[in-house]
Amino acid sequence: MTRHAEIAGAGFSGLTMAAALAQRGWSVRVHERSPEVRAFGAGIWTWENGVRALANIRAADDAFADCNPPPRYLERDAEQRIIRSLPFPPPHSDSGVRMFCVTRQRLLMAIHGAATRAGVDVATGSEVVSARPEGELETADGKTFRADLVVGADGVNSKVRDSLGLLRSRRTHADGAIRVLVPHEGGYGDTEEGKLLRSWWNGRRRLLYTPCTSDVFYLCFTGRVRDGQASRVPLHKESWIRHFPFMESMIDRVGDEQRYDVFETVESRHWRVGRAAVIGDAGHAMVPGLGQGCGMAICNALSLASHLVDHRDVERALTEWETRWRPVTEHAQLWSRISWPLTQIPVGAARWAFKTPVFHDWVAIQRRKPSHVVPHGSENDARWFPRNAAGDPSAPPRAD
């Protein structure tokens, strides 16, 4: 008999969960409170683990088709002196941890496409207000939906998590970010410099430039909540240009639609109770120190769908899923939290710290661990490659 799932939230984790379940024979409905499935205008990094999960649900081709992954990450101080320089393996490389960056909307639509092709029903304008461990979701219009499995993928303010009593702690941090997409001008996106991932440090402020496509790049302005000019929206352009004068022409082109998001960490007592589970930011929001919040969310979603193939008994599958994947996710949360202050120390100390063997070896291994995660169900999958090697549109398609 076909099993049925009701999911709250059509974000990255909810739609990945939906696609993975539907591809494994479940009937799935996703409730999205917004009138349409939409991500806000920013970029998002996806590491090897996330790429693997997306390839498994057949969303990677659509997500990264015209992506130009950066060959290198450069961190510089306010005088443009290099703090550290880290190479990335090219996208067609057979080994190593690759990183792809696309717009959030593109990634979300790729996952949405995979979900709808698998027959998922996405109900927009449907706000979930609570869930019950017996397998029920209740929506704001008073309707109740029963299922073999209910999932809260409704983000950091999750009503599903809170109604199930799963929240252990929720912590807001001292920093936050304004994230925007900016159009390239004069073919800059296709230049060697335009393809580099770069960040600049000045005091407590950071400015991150991430190439997305040849048309747009992603800027992330990070600053303390209590730094009124750094956290102000609309962006306080004069103040940011004062800190990073060499970025003036790009900062000037930032549009009016912005938001400042304070970093948060969510810890759950459990990820599941009865026939209900929470995934993504609802269960384990993290500081973006590793750029792994979404990556871990989509890996966990795929793993859960695969544990549900191993066991027809939903409660047993949920228990096994949490036991196996929670420690990995908590490692990512911990190292995200440690990594963020590490990039907040004074430039001189950072330059010294990044060169010490302990940082190079042990810390780097800890930070990279989440990228090596192989979500359950994808163990036998071949490594995914973009159709055009190195994101080069002139390169011939791979024979795959």
Ligand X SMILES: Cc1cc2nc3c(=O)[nH]c(=O)nc-3n(C[C@H](O)[C@H](O)[C@H](O)COP(=O)(O)OP(=O)(O)OC[C@H]3O[C@@H](n4cnc5c(N)ncnc54)[C@H](O)[C@@H]3O)c2cc1C
Stretch that binds ligand X, among 61-69, 167-175, 243-251, 281-289 (CB under 6 A): 281-289
Nearest to 82 by CA among 200, 196, 195: 200
Residue 116 Cβ vs ligand X, minimum distance, rounded to whole Å: 15
Helix (H) or strand (E) holding 218: strand 216-224
Residues 337-396 that bind ligand X (CB under 6 A): none
Binding mask 230-269 for ligand X (x = CB under 6 A): -------------------------------x-x------
Distance between CA atoms of 169 and 282, rounded to whole angstroms?
12
Residue 173 Cβ vs ligand X, minimum distance, rounded to whole Å: 10
CA distance readout (Å), 75 to 34, 71, 80, 137, 309: 37, 14, 9, 46, 44
Which position has the token pair 């990634």? 107
Q: Determine if 291 is a binding residue for ligand X (CB under 6 A).
A: yes
Closer residue to ligand X (CB): 59 or 297: 297
Q: Determine if 280 is a binding residue for ligand X (CB under 6 A).
A: yes
Please give the DSSP secondary-structure letter assigned to residue 382: P
* Count of positions (residues) in the chain: 400
Q: Determine if 10 is a binding residue for ligand X (CB under 6 A).
A: yes
Q: Determine if 31 is a binding residue for ligand X (CB under 6 A).
A: yes
Closer residue to ligand X (CB): 35 or 396: 35
Task: Report helix angle 12-23 to 104-117, nearest 10.
Answer: 20
Q: Determine if 155 is a binding residue for ligand X (CB under 6 A).
A: yes
Residue 357 Cβ vs ligand X, minimum distance, rounded to whole Å: 28
Binding mask 106-145 for ligand X (x = CB under 6 A): ---------------------xx-----------------
- 275: tokens are 């026939």
Asked whether the beta carbons of 237 and 180 are under 8 A apart, the reply is: no
Asked whether the beta carbons of 371 and 98 are under 8 A apart, the reply is: no
Distance between CA atoms of 220 and 273, rounded to whole angstroms?
37
Among 41, 69, 295, 386, binds ligand X (CB under 6 A): 295
The C-alpha angle 292, 284, 279, rounded to 5 degrees, equals 95
Could you tell me how far CA 20 lies from the centroid of its own chain?
17
The one-letter amino acid at 156: V
Q: Determine if 8 is a binding residue for ligand X (CB under 6 A).
A: yes
Residue 352 Cβ vs ligand X, minimum distance, rounded to whole Å: 27
Stretch that binds ligand X, among 31-39, 109-117, 197-205, 350-358 (CB under 6 A): 31-39
Count of residues of this chain found to bind ligand X when the rule CB under 6 A is applied? 33
Interface residue list for ligand X (CB under 6 A): 8-14, 31-34, 44-45, 127-128, 153-155, 159, 177, 179, 261, 263, 280-282, 288, 291-295, 297
